[in-house]
Amino acid sequence: MDTKEKEILGVKIVEMIKTIFDPEIPVDVYELGLIYDVFVNEDRDVKIIMTLTTPNCPVAETLPMEVEEKVKSLDDVRNAEVEITFDPPWTQDMMSEEAKLELGFL
């Protein structure tokens, strides 16, 4: 898999992640800034580093699994793994301008 193919797959992965919404906030997890990084290797294995709004978030069990399952459903992805981190801790500053506007912070 060359660099161009990785970039194209990366865009597809982000588009898929943007279909996943935090149930308590009407904004997708990507625009909320919960996705810290997406790695794709030559074998089309994907690793996603993400966080939650709080460590005791009510969707702590289900949201990462939903991200993993939706990314795995892409034809170009062989496997996907989600790793949760709280370093750095999520803050409202990590939201996109679009998310801040949607939630009335702008």
Rounded to 10 degrees, what is the CA torsion of 20, 26, 29, 32?
160
Task: State the distance between the two ends of the chain, measured CA to CA, in whole angstroms.
Answer: 41
Percentage of the chain beyond pLDDT 90 is 80
pLDDT over 90 (residue 95): yes
* 44 phi, psi to nearest 5 deg: 70, 30
Domain boundaries, the chain: 3-89
Please state the pTM of the whole predicted model: 0.92
What's the pLDDT tens digit per position in 58-69? 888 899 999 999
Query: Which CATH superfamily, name and number, covers 3-89?
Result: Fe-S cluster assembly (FSCA) (3.30.300.130)
Q: How confident is the model at residue 106 (pLDDT cuts 50, 70, 90)?
A: confident
